[in-house]
Homo-oligomer: A and B are copies of this chain.
Amino acid sequence: MQQEAGAPKQKAGAQRRGYHHGNLREALLEAAEALITEHGPDNFTMADACRRAGVSTAAPYRHFEDRNALMEAVCMRAFDGLAAATGGAKAPFEEGSVESILAGGKAYLGFALENPERFRLMFGRNPDLKSRPHVELAGRACFQNLLASVSAFLASRGQSGADPMPLALRLWSLVHGVASLAIDGPMDIIAPGNDPEAIIDESGRAILAAV
């Protein structure tokens, strides 16, 4: 899902050698991730990324069509990270078990807490970003994880043929709500010292038990 332009160049580990940077695309991605982590996606500027990478402000446009294209690349990396986090958390548990589903939800929350600005980039409303097929696909792939778990859960409850979507949406809404409130501040302001994981655990069990 990348190759903007054709020719090979010095690839990995390249340092600035002279006139040419050598690995600017990767350097910009790393700069963007760092700056987004630090200041949030809204305050990210191309100029900042250029300064951090040590190039002129026109250089990025050889590698990314515009600011949003760079954001898109960062966004997709973030989705990969989220999928890895949730997938990894479920691994130790039996597929379709309550524990595995809750572990996935808590990993989703953990990712949001550890990478709040990435999370905002992924789920904030940026119509231009949302409409990019790659981003949409990455999000969909993430959700497949949950759908599969829910299908297995329903099967273990004797509902093999049932549509997993309604239950998956309930669980996703819960977990996403906890994560959003936790990182956007209201939860800390309103109820400092609470435990977001506990909310997922208790409400999640209630929702699963109601099937």
B116, B175, B206: the one contacting A206 at CB < 8 Å is B206
Interface residues of A in 126-150 (CB under 8 A from B): 126-127, 130, 136, 139-140, 143
Q: Which of B126, B173, B186 contacts A139 (CB 8 A)?
A: B186
Q: Is the CB of B173 within 8 A of A199?
A: yes
Interface size class, chain A: 35 or more
A202–B205 CA distance with the chains assembled, in angstroms: 14
Residue of B nearest to A210 (CB): B206
**Chain A residues numbered 179-211 whose CB sits less than 8 Å from any CB in chain B:** 180-181, 183-187, 189-191, 194, 198-199, 202-203, 205-207, 209-210
Which residues on the B side are within 8 Å of A127 (C-beta)?
Answer: 40
**Main DSSP-derived SS at the A contact region:** helix
Q: Which of A124, A140, A177 has the most CB of B within 10 A?
A: A177
A120 within 8 A of B: yes
- A30 CB to nearest chain B CB (Å): 23
Contact assessment for A181 and B173 in the assembled complex, using a CB-CB cutoff below 8 Å: yes
- Expressed in whole angstroms, the minimum distance between the Cβ of A86 and any Cβ of chain B is 15
Looking at the complex, which one of B40, B136, B194 makes contact with A165 (CB distance below 8 Å)?
Answer: B194
* B181–A125 touching, CB < 8 Å: no
Residues of chain B with a CB closer than 8 A to A124's CB: 120, 124, 184
Instruction: Name A119's closest neighbour in chain B (CB-CB).
Output: B125
Given the known interface contacts A123-B180, A178-B177, the answer about A187 and B199 at a Cβ–Cβ threshold of 8 Å is no
Residues of B within 8 Å of A113, CB to CB, are none
Shortest Cβ distance from residue A175 to the other chain B in the assembled complex, whole angstroms? 7
14 new A-B contacts, CB < 8 A, other than A123-B180, A125-B183, A203-B207, are: A40-B125, A40-B127, A120-B124, A124-B184, A130-B185, A139-B186, A143-B190, A166-B199, A166-B202, A172-B181, A173-B174, A180-B180, A203-B206, A207-B207
